[in-house]
């Protein structure tokens, strides 16, 4: 930060013997403003990245969802567990990979953690129907009363 100091010699009342020169001090706020603007930009970028990572952690692993033009909107809570099946038949609850042998207990644990009876099923469009039916049967055993299958809407221009 810079500071300007000016000595005012034009005051007729100030006497040289008393050393009464008037001092006017001004603070240059341009560097301070620059620092605040840089901090604001850093805050905006990091907050956007945090929000995007939160959305990604809630939705789970990326898969190519099947398209549907007749599917209705799913009313879901933000905390409903999402079970994702990739095209390689890997299973994920949110973004945590789980083993098929522990599927029922992991679904039960995820439903209990968020106090929900709804499980959202996301699967790659190449996953076989039989695998999806098996997953829904295990989810029912684990206590899921509602199972919603997530699809991508087929939007026409």
- We report the CATH number of the domain holding residue 105 as 3.30.420.270
d(CA 121, CA 104): 14
Give yes or no for residue 71 having a pLDDT over 60.
no
* End position of a domain, from candidates 18, 35, 57: 57
53 shares a domain with 68: no
Residue ranges in the chain assigned as alpha helix (H)? 30-59, 103-114, 129-141
* End position of a domain, from candidates 57, 82, 97: 57
pTM above 0.75, yes or no: no
- Bridge partner list, 7: 23
117 shares a domain with 87: yes
78 shares a domain with 145: yes
Q: What is the pLDDT of residue 136?
A: 87
Give yes or no for residue 157 having a pLDDT over 50.
no
50 shares a domain with 98: no
Q: Which residue has the higher pLDDT, 110 or 154?
A: 110
> Which uninterrupted H or E stretch holds 152?
strand 152-153
* End position of a domain, from candidates 42, 57, 72: 57
* Domain total in the chain: 2
73 shares a domain with 148: yes
98 shares a domain with 51: no
Residue 155 pLDDT class (50, 70, 90 cuts): low
Q: Which residue has the higher pLDDT, 42 or 70?
A: 42
Please list, in sequence order, all residues whose beta carbon lies within 8 angstroms of the beta carbon of residue 118, skipping any fewer than 6 positions away: 76, 77, 80, 144, 145, 146, 147, 148
Give yes or no for residue 145 having a pLDDT over 80.
yes
Residue 28 pLDDT class (50, 70, 90 cuts): confident
Arithmetic mean of pLDDT over the chain: 77
- The C-alpha angle 51, 53, 55, rounded to 5 degrees, equals 70
83 shares a domain with 31: no
Mean pLDDT of 120-128: 82
- How buried is 80 (Cβ within 10 angstroms: 0-12 exposed, 13-18 middle, 19+ buried)? buried
67 shares a domain with 9: no
Residue 17: give the domain boundaries: 2-57
84 shares a domain with 21: no
Q: What is the pLDDT of residue 56?
A: 64
51 shares a domain with 22: yes
> Shortest CA distance to 81 belongs to which of 65, 61, 59?
59
Query: Comparing 24-28, 55-59, 141-145, 150-154, which segment has the lowest mean pLDDT?
Result: 55-59
70 shares a domain with 45: no
> Shortest CA distance to 10 belongs to which of 26, 19, 21, 1?
21
Mean pLDDT of 100-120: 88
Percent of the chain scoring above 70 in pLDDT: 69
Q: What does R_g of the chain's alpha carbons equal in angstroms?
A: 31
51 shares a domain with 13: yes
d(CA 134, CA 145): 15
């Amino acid at each position: 930060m810079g500071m300007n100091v000016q000595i005012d010699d034009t005051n007729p009342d100030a006497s040289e013997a008393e050393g009464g020169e008037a001092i006017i001090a001004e603070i240059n706020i341009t560097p301070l403003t620059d620092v605040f603007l840089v901090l604001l930009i850093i805050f905006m970028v990091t907050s956007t990245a945090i929000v995007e990572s939160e959305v990604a952690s809630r939705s789970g692993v990326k898969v190519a969802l099947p398209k549907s033009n007749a599917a209705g909107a799913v009313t879901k809570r933000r905390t409903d567990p999402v079970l994702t099946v990739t095209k390689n038949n890997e299973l994920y609850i949110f973004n945590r990979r789980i083993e098929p042998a522990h599927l029922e207990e992991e679904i039960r644990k995820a439903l209990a953690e968020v106090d929900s009876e709804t499980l959202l099923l996301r699967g790659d469009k190449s996953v076989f129907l039989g695998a999806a039916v098996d997953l829904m049967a295990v989810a029912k055993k684990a206590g899921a009363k509602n199972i919603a299958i997530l699809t991508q809407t087929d939007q026409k221009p």
